[in-house]
DNA sequence: ATCCATGCAAAGTGTTTGCAGGTGG
DNA sequence: CCACCTGCAAACACTTTGCATGGAT
């Protein structure tokens, strides 16, 4: 919340009730709500709130580094015919995703904190970074 | 491809050109194409192919266990205000996602196969399984 | 010959954008 | 007071569905 106010001010962005409430709502829950869920909750405090304001605000905060998304953002669904247990390298610049295999990763033990949440049946590691093309020779 | 033919036959599902070509296309590439990308490629061999057939076929194959999706399927985007380095437990039944922390996971080394793909800057582990509620007391 | 699968077109979601009036700095 | 935000509504992209024809078994 501190961080939110500070970053908004730093970037010369106005601190509206909508923005503060939307961030407050998201920061106060641990269930990774959708835009619509945030909308419904905040609407109880700001009845005139519009759904598109929630989207605009969330994307703004993503640009500021205050918020992130679960899974790949804004992309169409992508499919995979590789059914073997595998892991992914994902380029944060161009979205490229490639499989790789690792017996070590396959056998990772779930920490206690995770076992408390449920019964783990599969480990899926995602390595995020820049692919050869994006970190490569040319301009970024 | 074998597996595809066999599973279709086992389930009494017709082996149409569309289905075989769509699977062949997806199995032949490692870049996790979207439905539209599959559509454009297969269209060169079956010009009358319709996009919705690609979708129907891909979902069918997911039900058969021939194909999977990258990221959570068919859900609206979900947001997260937790910017600390963390990992996720995801329930495959209800989609519940919760954060957990693990210093061990944070420090996982990227295997050679992954380093060959690009420069890794972050490790994000996803543990898939059933949450307490879904594996819990009640019916399946 | 039968029934399933396809193509077409239209509907359905979730998300984005243009604009006029309102609000924070 | 000025520029930026918001709400509204329409547009948009992606995915799904209903229906009649066409194809596989």
Residue A71 is predicted with a pLDDT of 82
Of all residues in chain B, the one with the smallest CA distance to A69 is: B79
A35 CB inside 7 Å of strand C = yes
Whether the pLDDT of residue B6 is over 70: the answer is: yes
**CA distance linking residue A15 with residue A20, whole number of Å:** 7
Instruction: Tell me if chain B has a CB within 8 Å of the CB of A84.
Output: no
For residue A140, name the pLDDT band (cuts at 50, 70, 90).
very low
Report the first-to-last Cα separation within chain B, whole angstroms. 33
- What does the pLDDT read at residue B137? 64
**Mean pLDDT, chain A, whole residue set:** 94
Residues 100-129 of B with CB under 8 A from A: 100-102, 104-105, 108, 110-111, 113-114, 117-129
pLDDT on residue B140? 46
Determine the average pLDDT of the residues in A37-45.
97
pLDDT of A137: 64
Q: What does the pLDDT read at residue A127?
A: 97
pLDDT tens sequence across B65-117: 999 999 877 889 999 999 999 999 999 888 899 999 999 999 999 999 999 99
d(CA B35, CA B64): 17
CB contact (8 A) between residue A73 and residue B77: yes
Cβ of B61 near strand C (distance < 7 A): no
> Residue A106: exposed, middle, or buried by beta-carbon count in 10 A (0-12, 13-18, 19+)?
middle
Q: What is the pLDDT of residues A104-114, one digit of tens each?
A: 999 999 999 99
């Amino acid at each position: 919340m501190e961080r939110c106010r500070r970053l908004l001010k730093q970037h010369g962005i106005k601190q509206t009730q909508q923005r503060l409430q939307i961030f407050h709502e998201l920061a106060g829950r641990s269930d990774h709500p959708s835009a619509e869920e945030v909308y419904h909750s905040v609407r109880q405090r700001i009845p005139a709130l519009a759904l598109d304001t929630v989207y605009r605000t969330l994307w703004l905060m993503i640009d500021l580094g205050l918020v992130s998304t679960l899974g790949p953002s804004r992309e169409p669904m992508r499919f995979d015919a590789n059914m073997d247990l595998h892991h992914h390298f994902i380029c944060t610049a161009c979205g490229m995703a490639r499989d790789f295999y690792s017996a070590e990763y396959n056998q990772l033990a779930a920490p206690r904190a995770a076992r408390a949440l449920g019964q783990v049946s599969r480990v899926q590691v995602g390595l995020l970074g820049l692919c050869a093309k994006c970190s490569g020779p040319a301009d970024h």
